[in-house]
Amino acid sequence: MLRFLLMFFLIMVAVVTFNGCNGRLFSYKGATITQQDHIVQLQQGDQKGVWKTNELSLNYNYRMTPENLKVSGTVNLVGGFAIGFSSVERLVVQLLFLDDQGTVIDNVILYSADSHHSTQYIPMNFDRTIPIPANAHAISFSYDGELMDAGDDSAGVSIGNFPR
């Protein structure tokens, strides 16, 4: 029985680790963006803008074609989050494709920072070409992360913004 439990535990750790790397275990499909100022209507041609919360801002540029969205830009910590912490323990920023009601129809990782990523390397750049799902009329962003203080490994703060 102990051997079975150990094997089950190891398999679960492998599944969570694998899915954590590809970002597909936890999908936002079906969730809704309720803040209208966080919704960016998709438009043909070259577009740019800033998407911002009180923790993080994304300066983005995109070019939409009938099949793809080429999106690039930078991720920046803002306010005290930019100067009060010395490393990013974890940060995942996702692009959310939305239908005309603001419901998430797909999510794709734009940027991912690993353990002990120094805040000296901010802004954090991204550049992706992503197939546009059918019925996508808008985009938004979400993020989840943890920032750490250099002086004390136990002093950290979680940041995040998710659709509901």
The pLDDT score that the predictor gives to residue 8 is 53
pTM exceeds cut of 0.85 = no
Mean per-residue pLDDT of the chain: 83
Cα–Cα distance between 13 and 19 in angstroms, integer? 10
Q: In the numeric block, which tokens belong to residue 129?
A: 């070409």
Q: Residues 107, 112, 115, 119: is their CA dihedral positive or negative?
A: negative
Does residue 44 surpass a pLDDT of 70?
yes
pLDDT in tens, 104-137: 999 999 998 877 766 666 678 999 999 999 999 9
Does residue 20 surpass a pLDDT of 90?
no
Are 110 and 126 in contact by the 8 Å Cβ rule? The answer is: yes
The pLDDT score that the predictor gives to residue 149 is 79
The pLDDT score that the predictor gives to residue 79 is 79
Three-class secondary structure assignment of 40-108: EECCCEEEEEEEECCCEEEEEEEEECCCEEEEEEEEEECCHHHHCCCEEEEEEEEEEEECCCCEEEEEE
Q: Beta strand pairing status for 117-118 and 87-98?
A: antiparallel
The pLDDT score that the predictor gives to residue 23 is 43
Average the pLDDT over 36-50 and give the result: 94
